Structure 1
Amino acid sequence: MAKKGNSRGKGNTSPTQAKSTSVSISADDVALLEKAKSIAKDGEIDRNELKSMLEDELVKEIEEKRQQQETELESQKASFEEQYKKELDKKHSGLKKETVDLEKTKNALESSINRLQSELDNASKKIEEGEAEKKCIIEKAKEEAQKIVDKAKEDAEDASKEVLDDIVQKKLELEDEKDGIETQQLELEAREVQLASKEKRIEKQAAIYDAANPDVVESLNRQLNVTREQLDAVRDEYEKVQIELNKIKLKQIKSEGISPEELQEENDRLLEKIEDLENKCKRYSDYELLEMKRALDAEKDYLTRIQNQDAEIAESKAELVRLKNGQMEYEQLRSQLDLLRTLNDHLRGELDNTKKMLESSVGEICPALTAIDIQQTEMSGEEYNRSVEREDLKVDLRSMNLPKLITHVKTYAAGRAKPLYYSDKDLRAYIAGMASSHLSILQGMSGTGKTSLPKIFAEAILGEINVVAVESSWRDRNELLGYYNDFSKKFTAKEFTCDLYRAGCDRYKDTIYIIVLDEMNLSRVEYYFADFLSVLEDKTSNWKIKLVDTDLRQLPTEITKEVKDALANEKSKELVELKSVVDELYSDMKLNEDEETKVSSNDKLRLIAYLSGKKFKNAANTRYLVGGPQNLIDGNTVKIPANLWFVGTANRDESTFEITDKVYDRAQVLEFNKRAKGNQVEEIEKIYLPYETLNRMFKKAEADFTFDAETYALLNEIEQILQANFKVSYGNRILDQMNTFVPVYVAAGQGSGLTDDQLIREAIDYQLTYKVLRKLEYIEMNRDANKDAGDKLRKKFEQNEMKLAKEFMDWKLRGEE
């Protein structure tokens, strides 16, 4: 009882005391007590009623909280949608602005194209008019030239006829005068004889006169004196006639310096010459007739017109060149316009699909490479069948060597339905080139088997090969490897990248894989292949090419219990933290997209790296958990495997670029300038030659046939001539390649009937011609010093039976381009 009283006494505590004790009671508890008091009957509480009341209150409270959360979620949703809409509107307006700018650019380009087309039409019209006027003037010139030639012929004939008539007339006159003079001379001589006879008779009469009558003597003396005077007169006249005859003869000599007979002969010769000139005139070209016209035309007006017309034609040609350049620019602008149109269409498509792409957080980042990963796990299909065939036809290393390999490839090529023929020398050079460099260049004329050689080699040994056609528009590595799209978050791998990736997969790691870059110099090699040229110089472990900066792997959409169990057993602090990340992302084994947005990118990458490194597979064990390519290093770098070779084919014409020394020095070069001939043989079976087997044969050749290019006497002698006269030398890279090329070439030539020394010189001949002497291609050999050095090199090559190098120097010394 005392106990009860004490209880009541406690219940009747003073207000001051009650106030002091209520400080520790919460407002919710006070409200609860008040409600309990309200339902209390006679100071006792009905528990069921209190429980019912509390449940109602709890339901009400939960409902209020639910409504409050829904309100908040609606508010957040509205805010998020508003923000998302603003972002979309902003991007839409940006894209719209870009589209407008592109339209403006397009209109400007079309306007420029129309203007250029108009100028081109006007210029073409002018050129056509100029050509027509030129043709008309040339026709007139031909007619006038023909008239001048005909007139010249007539004048020549008339002049010749007049000269001939004058000569004949003079000849007749001279003959008449000569006859008259000769007659007078005879008459004078007769008269002189008569006078002499008379003088004798007179002398006799004088003798008689001395003894006769003086008067008669005097008379006779007078007669004698008269006779003597007559004789003197006749003699004077004779002397005059003789002088006149001499003058006539001098005139005849001075007239032509020849006799009338000779003048006649000269006339006949002139007639023959005129006839010959007529025949030659018929054989003259239009240009020669124009030249004759210029020579015969006394007036220079027409010549001036021709010169002016030539100047106009030259200006027209210059204008034509300018217009052709303008046409080329027009074609370029049209290509750019087509590209802009394509880009515009692409942007429109991107604009239409932007919302869908941004909302999508699943799907493969790089479908092409992921598909290759899936193919490697398949146990059927073409790739799987080829791998089975390789195992069935795998060659025994003990029965295979390099000479047998060359024989097999040569026979396989000649036994095909469409046979191809290759010489032993070219096959030795090709295989030795594979040993010394993973980049080969096959150049020369079309149709000589450049592209077919690597194809035949790969077919004969059951290797893999793919031909990638190089395009003239390639300007950087992305044209070769592929592009990453920031909108779709996807990487589009090019055909080359797929082959590069496939060659490194487990199924192909021991298969010889060849990628052919067909017509590799349609674009500049150093533009799109620069990364590979640098990387291939390094050791094999560093042969890596970074595709993109972004990790192309993805978080799996679900994980397995195996992953959680593995993480539970991990003890490191980092992996314990990673376990908590997995718990957040995969609380029910499936990826929680809401939680994904809260996890940092670094944690995602750490998880991807862990799952990828452990090679976890999905529940069905059909593929790896991590999405995206599985064989990339760090998810973005592809490795160049040692079993992969690059072969470039090259033409040398106006449509291609010159291959630079940087490329030639790093590659092995083989030139095909004529198609080899042979006889078709029976078809033989393929064999499977693994990469490891080929590599062992290369190493065995280097061990069996050692060669040191730096100390080889012949190479040093040739280098001294090249260095002293042309400033050309061997680089370390070339010497290193020779140290591998020559032993493999010699090993491949065993049993060919050639000595090792002959094979060494053949191998050096290939290396010098295509890697060293080609640097002399644009050096003139016409100067005395260069010609002497060239002759010295040629003799050196001839003495050592280096056929390719000798042919090159013969070509250079002839001065041909």
Structure 2
Amino acid sequence: MGKSKSRSTPYRNLGARSRPRADEVQADLALAARRAEDGSELVEALTTEALTPTQRSPEEVLTTYDKLTLQIEEYRRCALAATAREEAARTREEAARAREEAARAREEAVEADRQRIRTDLNLAAQAQAEAEEIRGQLAQAEARLDERDAHLRDQEKAAEAGFVAEAERARAALDAELAELRRAASAEVAAERERWMTERTEALAEIEQTRRERLADAERVHAELAQERQQLTTRAQQLDYDQGALREQEIQLERRERDLEREVTARAAAEVTALDRDLQILRIQYAAAQEAVADLHRRLAEREQVLLKIGSSDPAHVLDEMERLRVQNAELRDKLAARIGDEDLDRLRWLEQQNRELNTAREQLSYELQELRGAALADRINNLQVKQLADAERHFEVLTRGYEGRIAELRSAIDALYQDRPDPGTPLFPRCVAMDDDPALDEPGEVSGDLPDLAGFARSLQTTMFAEHDRAYRLNDICVLLGGLAMSRLHLLEGMSGIGKTSLPRALAGALGTDCAVIEVQAGWRDRTDLFGHHNTFERRFEETEFLQALYRAQTPRHRDRPFFIVLDEMNLSRPEQYFSVLLSKLENDDGVPIQLVTRGDGRAPRQLVGGTSIVLPPNVWFIGTANQDESTLEFADKTYNRAHLMELPAQRPRLDRRPVPALPPYGTDALRRAFKQARRAHREDEKAVLAFVEYLTGDLQEHGRALLGPRVEKQLRTFTPVVVAARQGDPTGEQPEYGDADQDGRSLAADHFLAMKVLRTVRGRYDVTVTGLGKLREAIRTAWDLHKMAGEPVRCVRLLDDEVHRRES
């Protein structure tokens, strides 16, 4: 069975069209219709044959009928798909027709403007013709005056022949008439001149009044700015002073915390010792209590034995029994007394008395024994307390000796600090002063004032970087990099680790014969002090960071006229909107106010610092930040993306042929900037074409991608495009592997890169942009690409949108 084949191809084969043309849709639709008709005829024929039982069996007929029915359904589905494709093509044609109507309306508006301009030119031509006519009339008047002068001369000659009186009268009349004409003309010219002078004076007065008002407004604004600047300077000085005071307080608090920690440790040890002593006392008391309890248990057991011997365990019964026995004993004694004699009775009473005395003595001895046992226990407790007090005394002696030793160490440290404290004449910025004394940096570098040809310059950079630094980069990437140098002084290089993000600015600096400083960004950076350093008030010196030293080295005579690159490696380990905020504002709008490092300088001041306290942002410095996209990094804010030029390097480097490379002349910063300006003058048409391409997509970008084009983006596009076009001129180089953009010229390369990196990048992660909207946006870009006759394919835009669709779908 025939199935319709999709015309969309994988992204890596971007040479084929992914959108069906109208003629293809019509052909597919006609083919599907013919197949459907052929299938219907076959079904009718076979159905007719199936009715004749002599030719085919019923099973064969039914099988053939089912197959043909399925084939008809397949043909109908193809026809429906072709119809849908035709409807889509018709919709796109209507959209294109609407866009053509809009373009035609724009052309009509332009033609109307041109007509108005022609009308104005015609009016100007008519005014010029009228002026020429007036000049002709003046010439005729002058000719008539000349004729009258000639007539007067003739009359003078006639007067010489005898008509003197008549000639005099005629001459006097003509002179009077001529004088009257000249006087009238002079009066008219004077009145016109007076009117013109009055109008000119009034206009000049009005202009002067306006100028004075604007000057007053400017002076007022300038005064307000100066006042605000003074207030900001005062606040900055106060903040620096407060920061120094806070630093001193932090040092004091740290010392107090250490002392408190030692004191708490000592007190804790003393408390532990006291608790140990109390624990021993409690243990002794617990042992004594256990002995008392054991004694009570013993007595209780004895009494229980006695009660068992008695035969009862009930105390009331025992008391009754004792009372009964006492009564019985008294009766028995009475009976005995009645029986025994007096001698025996006396002896019995003496024995009872002895028994009572012995019981009393026994009880007294028991009480004394308990007292002796209590005294012994108290003696044991006192001995333990004395021992614990002695241990505590020895412990406090050890602590005292430790504190005395620590105090001696602190005194020695304080004495050493005061001895090693720098002299007030020591430079506040020692490393910057050392650069001033370095003869290699103090000697001006030689630079070429010639304007480089950007096309040859880009190819020379490619071969020089590969030959001298063994770093191969694509020519398109180098052209885009040059356009980025013209567009912004902040660059962001993104991509996977190990593809040469840090090596690119190093190789570029080596090829240009200049310097490149690499600064490793730390994850804990929060403010400008992490970038520039801070003032150590105790040691009276400034902690100069590598970034500050690089910024100062760029201003030395050796580098001030050459491009200088400062690489912020792993720039998104921390938030650039915090620690890089001062430079973000300076790069956007440099007001000429230097960046203040300290409130006042001490010792010898570096030559390149303003007032010994502030540093300016030199115009020859470009900042290049590298960024990895993983879980250890942070996402750049739109504030940083909008001000920067963004590049993503490919995963693989191209293979280049090694060949001898002539040395590049050391081009200066001014020469490069003049070359960028010359490229903009030479390629204004390409600039307008790329701008028209981007503006054509404004509605689709806003509708399907929620992307807006601001004035800053348009300004960057006008600066970026001409340099890329100028650098990409000439035959393309054969590079392997190629990433689908080998067929792009400078105009299409600039449009593709700028649209992808500066506009479409904003759709990443936006939840209000759907997969359907991304597909429509991709189709709109392809349509606009073909409509504006761009070379090649928009590979970067399509790759970005496809990756975003794949990310959302997975």
| TM-score, normalised with respect to structure 2 | 0.46
| TM-score, normalised with respect to structure 1 | 0.46
Considering Cα pairs closer than 8 Å and 6+ residues apart, tell me whether 1 or 2 has the greater RCO. Answer: 1
